[in-house]
Structure 1
Amino acid sequence: MIDSYANGLLDDYAERFGFNLPAVQHLWETVAQGGGDMAMFDHPEFAGPGQWMRGGLIMITEPGNHVLKNRIDALCNELSRLYRERGDAAQPGHRRINAHARAWDTVAVERENWWPAELGEPAAVGEQNQLAYAYFDAARRLAIRRGKRVTLYETGTHRITGVAQSQYEDASDVVFTSQIGEVALAELAQVPSNTEAESAAPAGSSSSDILDALERLGELQRQGVLTEAEFAAKKQVLLARL
């Protein structure tokens, strides 16, 4: 059953993602039945039957229609986030599954957690054209993997729900969807990696070098590139070398 609060949000989602309200309501019900982790849907606006799994796994009857797949995936991620925020996942009668399993597999498949462990569990993950992404709502971070390299970005007020386009010449051209519209990866500020930050004061550095590094870290924190927690952690590493 859809209450008035949820129905109001679903109306907003319908307008944002370009689907009719009945289609969004149908998808909400299937996401709820899947415990917020998966959905088995069947609606004309979604090209008939299909399956979605939180973690970026989606199947529809038009596998080559990447635009539709991305729109459905983004909408499912938003509905899953709403479902978990409302605490519906704790209510009895809702199915809970292994979040690492593929919805269409009979055997659970472990997902590769390639992002930094301290970021926790992502709110949305996926892979497009050799580029993998994972979005972390609480940390306001977007992790991007190209080959073996992982880069973090500050998302600010954007809550990433999926990829807006599937074809691009360069990774910096990729465009993501968020609750306030589309945002290009090139528009997001890159977060210095731990290696880059800590290399400012390698082992054996003088006290003045370490103090200079602390000053630079402080500037990054003031600019909003580093969170207070990240700044404190890196500060401890540097102070330990004095």
Structure 2
Amino acid sequence: MRQLSPAGQQAVNDIAQRQGFSTNAVESMLESVINGNGSMAQFSHPEFGGGGQWMSGGMTMIGDMFNGYLKGRVDNLCSELARLISNQPDLLRSGSFQSQSQNGSTQYNGSNNSNGAGNGNSLFAPAPPDWWGPDLRFPNSTGGQNDMRYAYFAQARRLAIDVGGQVTVYDTLDHSIGGVSQQSGGYGPQFSSQYGYVNLSQLPVVSINGMAPMAPAPMLAPAPMQAPAFNSNNDSSYSNNTGNNSGSANAGDVFASIEKLASLQAKGILTSQEFATKKAELLSRL
């Protein structure tokens, strides 16, 4: 249950005194009317005859079904509470809405604003920020164990996991997270979907502690290798290509060059004299 502001507590006390119920009962019914968006309520409290329902317009059902006097008092209480929250627009949701209870708390598929924070007449104190950040609302399921907690958001396709204070938000892609169990050996939770086990390492990371993850540095493509140029003319161009760094040439390079020269001679590109000259030059490097 949300925490009442001082103004909200005063309003509950006044209504409790006026309607003849305890403040605890009025707070319980206030939550039920808010859950029903101000037009209906499903409640369960001993002072209201147990479980029951109320709808604006006159339909009221209580567990003590033959107690017409109590039914009228419950109807008056619900009607007054509905008028009270009608002045709190942040408590009302437009369009269709739905509530569901998980882990002993009620979650709402609707507005989750600050309930009039900043308004001195607000019924409720501002809610503390959710640990998963302001960009996600209304988790379908939450849980935790040891120093880990998680929250799953089906509509947003997000899974938030807090481990030791580091909150990582994953994109669940087309996975529909349907369950979580303890991994063997105590290594944390194991999530499952319609495809089986969900490997978190394969899910894109949306944010870490509210910041987008750093993109890896792009890998540079290796420069293409170029064959050494060869000029058959008896000038210095070939000598420059083969003569540079002569001290670092090894025997394999020398013999490979001689084989290329022999091939050029066989094709008639080099004369016998040119071949002999270049061969002697290469051999002198050994």
TM-score (norm 2): 0.32
Structure number with greater Rg is 2
Higher relative contact order (CA 8 A, sep 6+): 1
